[in-house]
Structure 1
Amino acid sequence: MSGQVVTYELDGNIAKIGLNRPAKRNALSSALLRQLEEAINRAGEEARVGLLFSHNEHFSGGMDLAEAQSWVTDHSRYLDMRVGTAAKGRPHDHLARGRIPFVAAISGACVGGGLELATSCHVRVGDETSFFALPEGQRGFYIGGGGSVRIARLLGVARMTDMMLTGRVLSAEEGERYNLLQYCVPKGEHIKRATSLAHRIAENAPLVNWAVVHGLPRIQDCSYDDGLFIEGVFSQISMGSESAERIEEFVSGRARPLVKPGRSGDEHGEAPGTQS
């Protein structure tokens, strides 16, 4: 598909990246993936947090199967798209292991490659219309956007195996229960909530955000002792002049307090007397 199918907007410290291929439910064509990768890399240079969303009712219906027909018959192109590009990470690894955290705002279909894309983001907000599936087996191919690693870690191998073998579709409520979503909100409120979270994340020290994005996933691959060692390394790396300034804000009483759940105000603030 020719033309612009990914939008980019800088909103303060937030890079808003929109999937905009409504006639195809944001199917992941080569053009869309290329433009998405460019937008993600630009966000890493210009913003503190990225927001990935859809301009229409569906986040993404997965791979563009009409385009994929040519990959299957043209073996040289098939290898480039399904092996060579995947080995380089495609946009998924740029999301998961780039310079900044990404928040995904999800509605409607989040299927196949779309789910692989969403789970490459670090925080996922879905509205009640969201649904999740991995129908690749029914289409005759295996996933190739890192889902075997990222989705399996969220769902667990048994549940992901069920989805891939049986074609099971998960609702938004099930998606939250099974860890595909961290937030499930009423219809149409996903972008607003995701934007609010993105702005809150952007207030963190950038080096700490980077440490969370890169440290936590790697530590899960380590032994207990190695995990503690790497934690210590990331802890030291993330401490700098900004850390001293923020600690001083807290000690002097100028830091924003947490608000306990159920109270009005910013649920991500800091309660008086909290020491960490």
Structure 2
Amino acid sequence: MNKDYEVISTEFRDEVAYLKLDRTSKRNAINDRMIEELGIFFDTLPEAIRVVILHADGEHFCAGLDLIERIQNRSPDPLGGIKRSRAWYSVFDRMEHGNVPVISVLKGGVIGGGLELASASHVRICEASTYFQLPEGQRGIFVGGGASVRVPQIIGAGRVTEMMLTGRRYAAEEGCAMGLGHYLVPDGAGMAKAEELAASITGNSVVSNFAIINGVSHISQMGPNGGYFAESVLASMTARSGDSKERISEFFDQRRRTRDERNGDQDDRSATGGE
């Protein structure tokens, strides 16, 4: 654990990094310090790490932007807000388009900036208590951490507009049906599911994981011709990675063993008159 962190905490176990939002008294609301520490974490991730599990202390994943701190520290500089948004964009982009997949474990409020943070992760697990909300309209502000770009890619621009205008709250089951979450689990079961998925992801090719988390989101925003070209480049790159040949051979060997075992069982049943 890095004791220099103030509002996040970290733990490293073998190939998995655990990144915890640790500002419980503020429902893990995001302030400038948290953005700075998240940036440091992703910039200094050890080479051996293959997946990150993002989770939170307390009852809520993240209540969004720390509005009280923002009001107290409001600068008369008209560019101040733009600079702050660009800091969020930079950190969330390093998370979404970094070197390793990020699994987020969601619970309680995933509100405003909390949804912006969660939408930058690649696999989202919702505990039953999770709810999603974009209440910026009621606060007299507009999203500033990427929600108008990332979240519409997940649920569509019309749905995001409706969420911001009405402040509507979507429960975990509704959110998963829309695509805001990928897995719905009982309260308290999110970490176990994350570790199960992390074990699967760390078993993938490092090159394939890199291509997936960087390629799909970018290609989906390209025109068809550019997308097809980028896809072909990534396909060629992964096919020539160090272990792809061995992995493909192992896949076909396993299929052959399974087929031989199945045929052997059928022969045994025929010999004994079994059905």
TM range (shorter): 0.7 to 0.9
Indicate the residue corresponding to 1:75 in structure 2: 76
> So what's the TM-score if we normalise by structure 2?
0.86
Q: Residues 109-154 of structure 1: CA distance to partner in whole angstroms, max 9, x if unpaired?
A: 0000000000000110011100000112211211111111110111
Indicate the residue corresponding to 1:208 in structure 2: 208
Indicate the residue corresponding to 2:169 in structure 1: 169
Greater shift, 110-119 or 62-71, is seen at: 62-71
Indicate the residue corresponding to 1:246 in structure 2: 247
> So what's the TM-score if we normalise by structure 1?
0.86
Shift of 1:31: 1.1
Cα distance in 2 between the residues matched to 1:92 and 1:255? 44
Whether 2:15 is the aligned partner of 1:16: answer no
Indicate the residue corresponding to 1:66 in structure 2: 68
Shift of 1:213: 0.7
Greater shift, 228-237 or 120-129, is seen at: 228-237
Cα distance in 2 between the residues matched to 1:140 and 1:256? 63
Task: Sort the Cα spacing of 1:19 and 1:188 in 2 relative to 1 into closer, same or farther, 3 A.
Answer: same
Indicate the residue corresponding to 1:263 in structure 2: none
In the TM superposition, 1:45-194 aligns within 5 A as 45-72=47-74, 74-76=75-77, 79-80=79-80, 82-88=81-87, 89-194=89-194
Shift of 1:220: 1.0
**Which amino acid in the other structure matches residue 15 of structure 1?**
A
Name the SS of the counterpart of 1:150 in structure 2. helix
**Which amino acid in the other structure matches residue 92 of structure 1?**
F
Residue from 23, 35, 38 that aligns with 1:36: 38
Please say if residues 9 and 19 of structure 2, whose CA atoms lie closer than 8 Å, have aligned partners that are also in contact.
yes
Task: Sort the Cα spacing of 1:44 and 1:256 in 2 relative to 1 into closer, same or farther, 3 A.
Answer: farther
Please say if residues 5 and 37 of structure 2, whose CA atoms lie closer than 8 Å, have aligned partners that are also in contact.
no
Task: Sort the Cα spacing of 1:168 and 1:256 in 2 relative to 1 into closer, same or farther, 3 A.
Answer: farther
Task: Sort the Cα spacing of 1:45 and 1:166 in 2 relative to 1 into closer, same or farther, 3 A.
Answer: same
Please say if residues 30 and 62 of structure 2, whose CA atoms lie closer than 8 Å, have aligned partners that are also in contact.
yes
Name the SS of the counterpart of 1:4 in structure 2. coil
Indicate the residue corresponding to 2:219 in structure 1: 219
Please say if residues 110 and 131 of structure 1, whose CA atoms lie closer than 8 Å, have aligned partners that are also in contact.
yes
Greater shift, 83-92 or 191-200, is seen at: 83-92
Q: Residues 150-170 of structure 1: CA distance to partner in whole angstroms, max 9, x if unpaired?
A: 101111111110000111110
Name the SS of the counterpart of 2:254 in structure 1. coil
Greater shift, 221-230 or 197-206, is seen at: 221-230
Q: Who wins on radius of gyration, i.e. which is larger?
A: 2
Shift of 1:254: 8.9
Cα distance in 2 between the residues matched to 1:140 and 1:38? 31
Task: Sort the Cα spacing of 1:153 and 1:44 in 2 relative to 1 into closer, same or farther, 3 A.
Answer: farther
Sequence identity of aligned pairs in percent? 35
Please say if residues 13 and 199 of structure 1, whose CA atoms lie closer than 8 Å, have aligned partners that are also in contact.
no
Aligned length: 253
Shift of 1:79: 3.0
Task: Sort the Cα spacing of 1:152 and 1:256 in 2 relative to 1 into closer, same or farther, 3 A.
Answer: farther
Runs of 4+ in 1 over 4 A off after TM superposition: 254-257
In the TM superposition, 1:220-239 aligns within 5 A as 220-239=220-239
Shift of 1:33: 1.4
Shift of 1:3: 6.2
Shift of 1:71: 4.1
Please say if residues 118 and 124 of structure 1, whose CA atoms lie closer than 8 Å, have aligned partners that are also in contact.
yes
Cα distance in 1 between the residues matched to 2:152 and 2:203? 31
Cα distance in 2 between the residues matched to 1:149 and 1:86? 13
Name the SS of the counterpart of 1:39 in structure 2. helix
**Which amino acid in the other structure matches residue 86 of structure 1?**
S
